[in-house]
């Protein structure tokens, strides 16, 4: 057999009949209870397709380009590639992964603020023409190593700069100079890109600025003789249908005004979280517990509950699966496995910590949970960007078992949409779930 003998294999369990995701999670918790009680992740691949349907239903005019950095699990890449998405890669490894899944080079964008020379060469060799570029130094590297590149100039936005406290992109002021330099160097510029993160408070204002700036870049580019035809409006889609509608209503009138369909400009977006967040659930085990009580004789039972606080230590923290917490992402409040069943159970203020005993390793500052004991499990939904697979080779999380599942009903629809997951070459195999 060709390829790497130790290439990991991916088993996808097909869920038939009344089997639910909770059943699958219960099953793995039982297994883990007999062994190491390791944290694990369960993926529901049908969620990727449902998010795609939601995207196409609400914003059919925005072509989705998935940023691989959000979750580079080969199973996710395979599904999204089969659904026809484009991909945004930030390095050579991501480009190579996406090419391996049969994505045509014209559907790949190489996007990172500072590109290693080898990665630019690799893009040139593999005929990946679309590169994002944001300053003169990058431009001269690209002109030298990849003269056939088609550049998208990355515009800065206040919202992006505020989130990262880094001045990403170029300002409108430096735009003419960058375009003139591209002209001199003989590199094609084909459009503009910007990114407004989901943390942005005033979406309307942010898109007003970004789209009118982008229009200016297009006008300057056209005046210099460039064929400006791609606009990339970046990411910032949380995954909720409600928020997608909000972005849509902020963006659509601006697109109609600045980039109407008859202008022939292809409009792309980079939904990352949107596609993957809801598809993965993380199960972690409670490995330690501390109780803090402030007991006053005169308090009623209810008030006493308020005054008892629990600190729980879990076997995953910000140096593992919750690393995105360090980047400012909020963590969904978990549910306690097998506790939801008894309604009316008392709940207590609780804080959740990773295993490192480091002050930074607080995963949830305060939430209300029933009293747990060491060995209980907590379930965190919306963990699709928790750094699965290659994305975070260095972190502990890459060693977590990931169990992929798909419901039969979703699977039929996915097959109709062209998804095939029983590919021996890629070490994917589908099996029936059995409890």
Ligand X SMILES: *Cc1c(COP(=O)(O)O)cnc(C)c1O
CB nearer ligand X, residue 270 or residue 315 = 270
Closest contact distance (angstroms) between CB of 277 and ligand X is 8
Q: How far apart are CA 125 and CA 146, in angstroms?
A: 9
CB nearer ligand X, residue 146 or residue 195 = 195
211 interacts with ligand X by CB under 6 A: no
CB nearer ligand X, residue 64 or residue 403 = 64
Nearest Cα neighbor of 388 from 99, 119, 40 is: 40
CB nearer ligand X, residue 52 or residue 337 = 52
Strands 10-15 and 402-407, by their bridges, are parallel
Closest contact distance (angstroms) between CB of 313 and ligand X is 29
Nearest Cα neighbor of 319 from 356, 364, 359 is: 356
Which listed range, 28-36, 122-130, 250-258, 265-273, lies at the site for ligand X (CB under 6 A)?
Answer: 265-273
* Burial environment of residue 10 by CB neighbours within 10 A (0 to 12, 13 to 18, 19 or more): buried
- Count the site residues for ligand X by CB under 6 A: 14
Binding mask 272-311 for ligand X (x = CB under 6 A): xxx-------------------------------------
64 interacts with ligand X by CB under 6 A: no
Selected from 87, 218, 237, 259, the binder of ligand X by CB under 6 A is 237
Tokens 């375009």 sit on residue? 179
Closest contact distance (angstroms) between CB of 8 and ligand X is 25
Name 246's Cβ contacts closer than 8 Å, sequence gap at least 6.
Answer: 203
Beta strands in 84-162 (DSSP E): 86-89, 108-110, 130-133, 150-154
Q: Are 276 and 48 in contact (CB under 8 A)?
A: yes
387 interacts with ligand X by CB under 6 A: no
- β-bridge partners, 282: 41, 380
Q: What angle do CA 305, 308, 312 make, to 5 degrees?
A: 120
- Residue at shortest CB range from ligand X: 235
Nearest Cα neighbor of 164 from 104, 105, 234, 107 is: 234
Residue 366 exposure: Cα atoms within 13 Å on the Cβ side: 5
382 interacts with ligand X by CB under 6 A: no
Selected from 64, 221, 271, 354, the binder of ligand X by CB under 6 A is 271
Closest contact distance (angstroms) between CB of 85 and ligand X is 13
Binding residues among 175-204 for ligand X as defined by CB under 6 A? 195, 198
52 interacts with ligand X by CB under 6 A: no
For residue 266, is it left (φ>0), alpha (ψ between -120 and 50) or beta? beta
CB nearer ligand X, residue 24 or residue 268 = 268
Q: How far apart are CA 367 and CA 347, in angstroms?
A: 9
239 interacts with ligand X by CB under 6 A: no
Which listed range, 215-223, 264-272, 332-340, 426-434, lies at the site for ligand X (CB under 6 A)?
Answer: 264-272
Q: How far apart are CA 246 and CA 202, in angstroms?
A: 11
89 interacts with ligand X by CB under 6 A: no
Q: How far apart are CA 202 and CA 199, in angstroms?
A: 9
Closest contact distance (angstroms) between CB of 154 and ligand X is 8
CB nearer ligand X, residue 76 or residue 378 = 76
CB nearer ligand X, residue 280 or residue 411 = 280
51 interacts with ligand X by CB under 6 A: no
270 interacts with ligand X by CB under 6 A: yes
CB nearer ligand X, residue 155 or residue 369 = 155
CB nearer ligand X, residue 226 or residue 274 = 274
Full DSSP string of 262-296: GGT-EEEE--SHHHHGGGEEEEEEEEEEEEEE---
234 interacts with ligand X by CB under 6 A: yes
236 interacts with ligand X by CB under 6 A: yes
Q: Are 361 and 319 in contact (CB under 8 A)?
A: yes
Closest contact distance (angstroms) between CB of 247 and ligand X is 10
Q: Tell me the longest C-alpha to C-alpha distance in the chain.
A: 81
Binding mask 319-358 for ligand X (x = CB under 6 A): ----------------------------------------
Contacts to ligand X by CB under 6 A: 67, 69-70, 195, 198, 234-237, 270-274
């Amino acid at each position: 057999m060709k390829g790497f003998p130790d290439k990991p294999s991916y088993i996808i369990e097909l869920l038939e009949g009344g089997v639910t995701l909770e059943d699958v999670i219960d099953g793995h918790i039982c297994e883990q209870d007999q062994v190491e009680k390791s944290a694990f992740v369960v993926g529901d691949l049908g969620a990727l397709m449902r998010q795609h349907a939601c995207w196409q239903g609400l914003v059919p005019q925005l072509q989705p380009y998935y940023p691989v950095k959000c979750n580079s699990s080969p199973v996710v890449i395979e599904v999204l590639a089969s659904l026809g998405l484009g991909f945004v890669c930030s390095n050579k490894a991501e480009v190579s992964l996406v090419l391996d899944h049969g994505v045509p080079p014209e559907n790949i964008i190489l996007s990172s603020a500072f590109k290693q020379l080898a990665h630019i060469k690799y893009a040139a060799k593999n005929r990946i023409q679309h590169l994002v570029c944001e300053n003169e130094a990058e431009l001269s590297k690209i002109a030298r190593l990849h003269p056939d590149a088609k550049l998208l100039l990355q515009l800065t936005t206040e919202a992006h700069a505020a989130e990262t406290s880094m001045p990403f992109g170029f300002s409108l002021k430096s735009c003419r100079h960058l375009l003139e330099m591209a002209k001199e160097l003989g590199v094609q510029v084909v459009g503009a890109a910007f990114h407004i993160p989901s943390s942005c408070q005033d979406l309307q204002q942010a898109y007003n600025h970004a789209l009118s700036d982008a229009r200016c870049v297009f006008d300057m580019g056209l005046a210099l003789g460039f064929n400006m035809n791609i606009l990339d409006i970046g990411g910032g889609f949380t995954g909720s249908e409600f928020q997608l509608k909000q972005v849509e209503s902020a963006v659509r009138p601006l697109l109609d005004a600045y980039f109407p369909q008859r202008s022939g400009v292809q409009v792309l977006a980079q939904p990352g979280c949107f596609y993957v967040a809801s598809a993965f659930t993380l199960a972690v085990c409670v490995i330690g517990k501390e109780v803090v009580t402030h007991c006053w004789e005169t308090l009623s039972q209810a008030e006493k509950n308020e005054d008892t606080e629990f600190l729980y230590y879990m076997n995953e923290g910000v140096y593992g699966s919750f690393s995105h917490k360090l980047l400012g992402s909020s963590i969904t409040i978990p549910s306690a496995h097998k506790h939801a069943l008894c309604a009316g159970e008392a709940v207590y203020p609780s804080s959740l910590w990773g295993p490192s005993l480091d002050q930074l390793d607080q995963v949830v500052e305060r939430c209300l949970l029933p009293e747990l004991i060491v060995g209980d499990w907590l379930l965190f939904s919306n963990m699709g960007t928790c750094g699965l697979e290659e994305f975070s080779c260095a972190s502990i999380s890459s060693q977590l078992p990931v169990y992929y599942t798909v419901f039969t009903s979703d699977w039929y629809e996915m097959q109709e949409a062209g998804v095939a997951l029983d590919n021996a070459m890629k070490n994917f195999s589908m099996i029936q779930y059995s409890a």
